[in-house]
Amino acid sequence: MKLNLRQVIWCFLFKIKYVRILIFYNLERYKQKLRSLDNLNLDKNSIVFDFGANNGVVSQYLFDRYSCTIHLFEPHPYCHEVLKNIFQNNNKIKIYNSAISDTSEDKKLFCTSQTKDIKNMSMTEVSSLEKRKNNISQENFRITKCISIDEFINKFNFIDFIKIDIEGHEYKILPSLIKNIDKINLIFCEMHGETHREEFREDFEFWDKKLINLKTTKFKYW
């Protein structure tokens, strides 16, 4: 993917990890989220999944603290370019320009309604596999590769930590996560419909009840 000038500048700035973390750490919402990662039971031998890696701030934060192996999934074309630049010399960071999903079929990645040309997307703009998300355009999309959550989890004996922020698509992969919960130590998941995104309210209420026994041990809303 060829980057325009704006994207090149952002890519340069975000390649400087402390600039990247400082920008997000000074936003109260992200400060709280990053602080919640400070006392995880992880080390250099841990396996971590970052589903919806965006600009890599969370993965950078985790790696700086624990030196763990991290698998990053990011279908957004521009964010993927940024991630490749940031982590190009880190052999413990594995980057997939794919979405994690319930199947391995290619799917439409819908983008924010403000973006006229997907080539000009910025990392702050929203993309989602869920066309019902009310801040995306159903006409503005690209076809993206998906990797089945079941197939990917089956490659590992144990996963120490999973962070999920996939813009409403979490409800498609939750059944597989619950099925494989014995080989997962801890999951942090942003649940659309909990405090925002009313279009996902019914999904959240359904899964909130199903997860009640896991919320104090292996599953935390993030």
Residue 121 has pLDDT above 70, yes or no: no
Residue 57: predicted pLDDT: 85
Domain contains 130: no
Is residue 43 included in any domain, yes or no?
Answer: yes
Please state the domain count of the chain.
1
Q: What is the pLDDT of residue 24?
A: 53
Q: What is the DSSP letter of 112?
A: E
Could you tell me the CATH number of the domain that includes residue 217? 3.40.50.150
DSSP bridge partners of 72: 50, 95
Q: What is the mean pLDDT of residues 62-88?
A: 91
Q: With cut-offs at 50, 70 and 90, classify the pLDDT of residue 123.
A: very low
Question: What's the average model confidence in pLDDT over 101-129?
Answer: 73
> CA gyration radius for the chain?
17
Place of tokens 């790696």: 63
Measured at the CA of 99, the angle between CA 24 and CA 15, to 5 degrees, comes to 35
What's the whole-number mean pLDDT along residues 110-120? 60
Pairwise CA distance, residues 20 & 13, whole Å = 7
pLDDT of residue 140: 82
pLDDT > 70: what percent of the chain? 81
pLDDT at 124 over 50: no
Q: What are phi and psi for residue 161, nearest 5 degrees?
A: -155, 140
The residue segments making up the domain with residue 76 are 5-97+151-221
Structure-model confidence comparison of residues 57 and 149, the more confident one? 149
Q: Which residues have CB under 8 Å from 135's CB, separation 6+?
A: 112, 113, 126
Give domain status of residue 105, yes or no.
no
pLDDT tens string 142-179: 899 999 999 999 999 999 999 999 999 999 999 999 99
In a domain, 172, yes or no: yes
Out of 103-112, 140-149, 208-217, least confident range: 208-217
Give the count of beta carbons closer than 10 Å to the beta carbon of residue 167: 22
pLDDT in tens, 13-46: 555 555 555 555 555 567 778 889 999 999 999 9
Output the CA torsion sign for 36, 101, 153, 63. Answer: negative
d(CA 56, CA 75): 13
pLDDT band at 131, cuts 50/70/90? confident
* 67 inside domain: yes
State pTM to two decimals. Answer: 0.85
Q: Is residue 111 part of a domain?
A: no
Please check whether residue 160 lies inside any domain of the structure. Answer: yes
Of 29-38, 91-100, 174-183, 204-213, the range with the lowest mean pLDDT is 29-38
Please report, for residues 11, 38, 174, the alpha-carbon distance to residue 57 in angstroms, rounded to integers and kept in the order given.
13, 14, 24
The pLDDT of residue 6: 53
Binned at pLDDT 50, 70 and 90, residue 113 comes out as low
- Does 106 map to a domain? no
Neighbour-count burial of 119, counting CB atoms closer than 10 A to its CB (0-12 exposed, 13-18 middle, 19+ buried): middle
Q: In what order do the strands lie in the sheet with 187-189?
A: 93-96, 69-73, 47-51, 161-164, 187-189, 219-221
**Amino acid identity for residue 51 in this structure:** F
